Structure 1
Amino acid sequence: MEISIDSKQLTDWLTMLGTAYYQCEYCQGLHIVRVKDQNEIDDAKIELIDDILYYRITVEVKQSAIASLIADLSLINASSPILKVFLELQDEGNAKFVIMHTISCGEGLSLKQFILFMQQFEEQALQLVSELKQCDVLIDAALPNSTALSSSQTYH
């Protein structure tokens, strides 16, 4: 059964699934704790904007890796019908590699569709993060001497 989606429905489903999340003061997204707590992950959040559900994972990349990642973006995007990837370059702080998945839910969404949306994205996105880690292009967000921005400065 498809249900009209709003942030209350999302929080109900996440709670029912035992998925820990929090909402920060800087955005309307629901930050997914189990994904965000992985060392390489800078942020992981689900956000509903104009009847489109976005699931977004960001990792910080080394400055020396930006050119090669830009060159590989088309290949990475073509390799998965689910993942959309791009780089966010900022004047201050590290570049962010963004991995995203979206689903239109203007006509409603079932719990099974929501679970599949999350599972497929997490599986493929975390595999990509693992591959990026093996290529030594990521900055470990958990390192105390990392140049990573604090969560209050992170772009949302």
Structure 2
Amino acid sequence: MADKLEFELVSPEKLLVSQPVAMVVVPGADGLFGVLPGHAPMIVTVRPGIIDVYGDNQTTVSRRIFVAGGFAEVTDTRCTVLAEEASDLDALLKSDTAALEKQISDLREDIEDATSDVERRALETRLVTTQAKLDLIASQQDAEAA
């Protein structure tokens, strides 16, 4: 069995990551799941959360990436995540929380004013993503304060 698998993270705009890794942990709809070389094939819905990338070994996280949801395809040699939105965790943690709170408030108003189910669902998806970002920032700040 190989000691690395190929990890790819793709957003609608571009290929964000393509590298061999020891392991990757993805926030699946049913919980976190780790992918090692030789993993059984599967396709999974990805929920908003953090992808932990273990570059050189299975004990040290080399990169953390926030994803807003999407899908993951896993094979025995590859893990490909198709993300609706993705950003490095460090960049996200520098986000203006007041701006995110304002965006959440505006989205809630827009949902109330939505004139179609399609528009409402799109706004609700944006609301869930923005709330996940704000919750993540708050949890990281709480962890640092403890």
Shorter-chain TM-score bucket reads under 0.3
In the superposition, the TM-score normalised over structure 1's length comes to: 0.25
Select the structure with the greater relative contact order (CA < 8 A; seq sep ≥ 6): 1
Rg larger in 1 or in 2? 2
